[in-house]
């Protein structure tokens, strides 16, 4: 049995879950918004006592894999519409800067000949924290965990942390292993 798939999902107050039997699309509505996800027809679920439990049709390898996958996706959807998700990224480097022009637009100065302007989808909000003496921090907020992670990775791809000085965009708390530079021969 899937260890992840058999765990029940606690449904907070104000969150409702519906499944369209024709298209197998599950809709999760909550105080922060609404998310939709296709769920394989081999996976069924029951809602009782404020907990959502998923079951699979057979013990085929594919069904076992789908059981844990859809349980994780639905748990992320429930958490997203009730609490939301947040990702923090740090811009490390002399002269590097980040500034939120609006809740949907970010301007990055990363040492290129021009500043980069990044527009976000309407589901994601951005803000920046610029304190004197500290690295600028980019804060991304949204209800869709997959989309939020994808956007955060796209921002990081503009200047990944390099291994010699550690300059670049990294997640807050991420540890960048540094390499030793050139050493003089004797």
Last residue within a domain, chosen from 62, 82, 102: 82
The whole-chain average pLDDT of the chain stands at 91
Query: Are 61 and 122 found together in one domain?
Result: no
Query: Are 156 and 102 found together in one domain?
Result: yes
Q: What is the mean pLDDT of residues 136-164?
A: 95
Q: What is the CATH number of the domain that holds 106?
A: 3.90.930.12
CB contact at 8 A, 169 and 93: no
Residues 6+ apart with CB under 8 A from 158: 108, 110, 116, 118, 169
Number of structural domains in the chain? 2
CB contact at 8 A, 116 and 110: yes
CB contact at 8 A, 177 and 163: yes
Q: What is the mean pLDDT of residues 9-27?
A: 91
Look at residue 186 in the predicted model and tell me its pLDDT. 58
pLDDT band at 5 (very low <50, low <70, confident <90, very high): confident
pTM above 0.95, yes or no: no
Which residue range forms the structural domain that includes residue 31? 9-82
Query: Are 98 and 151 found together in one domain?
Result: yes
Last residue within a domain, chosen from 82, 98, 130: 82
Look at residue 185 in the predicted model and tell me its pLDDT. 62
The span from the CA of 49 to the CA of 47, in Å, is 7
């Amino acid at each position: 049995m899937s260890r992840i798939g058999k765990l029940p999902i606690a449904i907070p107050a104000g969150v409702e879950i519906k499944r369209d039997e024709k298209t197998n699309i599950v809709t999760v509505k909550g105080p922060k918004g609404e998310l939709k996800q296709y769920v394989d027809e081999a996976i069924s679920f029951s809602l009782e006592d404020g907990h959502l439990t998923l079951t699979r049709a057979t013990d085929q390898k594919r069904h076992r894999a789908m059981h844990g996958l859809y349980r994780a996706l639905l748990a992320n959807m429930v958490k997203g519409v009730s609490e939301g998700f947040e990702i923090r990224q740090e811009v490390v480097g002399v002269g590097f800067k980040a500034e939120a022009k609006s809740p949907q637009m970010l301007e990055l100065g990363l040492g290129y000949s021009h500043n980069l302007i990044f527009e976000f989808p309407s589901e994601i909000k951005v803000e920046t924290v610029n304190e004197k003496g500290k690295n600028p921090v980019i804060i991304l907020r949204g209800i869709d965990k997959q989309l939020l992670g994808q956007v955060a990775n796209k921002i990081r791809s503009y200047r990944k942390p390099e291994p010699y000085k550690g300059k670049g965009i990294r997640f807050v708390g991420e540890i960048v292993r540094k390499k030793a530079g050139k050493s003089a021969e004797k």
